[in-house]
Amino acid sequence: MAGNPTESYPDDLRYHREHDWARIEGDEATLGITWHAADALGELVHYEPPEEGSTIELGSSYGEVESVKAVSDVIAPLSGEVLEVNAKVVEAPETVNEDPYGEGWLVRVRLSDPSQVDGLMDAEAYRAHVAEQ
């Protein structure tokens, strides 16, 4: 069965309450969905990405992931310009289930407002958020 059975939230990432993560590198960030989101959805069968060069906005949908159970919007944890879409996930969406924080990233963006990072949760706060749900 596909999927990582071990719940994990890496300490070097920042998290949004809608179960998205951000790996911040200067004024750029790599974004994806958390283990919790991938586990709740089940195996992904389709990823509808934004266009490279488009702008995504904090708290707004920037794409869709479809699993055998449901179609879900992917909510942007930060605002910015899409620099790159992960073609591997477009071709093999189950990559997200197998490696949500590595090969299963969704987009890379140039941040339009780096101060938004301060509004995201650290791993400890996100774990507490998931436990409350």
- pLDDT tens-digit readout, 49-67: 999 999 999 999 999 999 9
Instruction: Please tell me the predicted confidence (pLDDT) of residue 6.
Output: 81
The answer to the question of residue 2 being in a domain is no
CATH code where residue 128 lies: 2.40.50.100
SS3 5: coil
Q: Which domain holds residue 97?
A: 14-132
Is residue 4 assigned to a domain? no
Task: Check residue 48 and give its pLDDT.
Answer: 97
Residue that has been written with the tokens 């951000």 in this structure: 22
Classify residue 8: in a domain, yes or no. Answer: no
pLDDT score recorded for residue 1: 40
Q: Please enumerate in sequence order all residues whose Cβ is within 8 A of that of 73, keeping only pairs 6 or more positions apart, or say none.
A: 61, 63, 64
If DSSP codes are grouped into helix, strand and coil, which group holds residue 76? coil
Q: How far apart are the C-alpha atoms of 80 and 59, rounded to whole Å?
A: 12
Q: What is the dihedral of CA 83, 108, 82, 72, to 10 degrees?
A: 150
> Is residue 32 one of the residues assigned to a domain?
yes
Q: Enumerate residue ranges in the chain where pLDDT < 70.
A: 1-5
Does residue 34 fall inside a structural domain?
A: yes
How many domains, the chain? 1
Query: Is 104 a member of any domain?
Result: yes
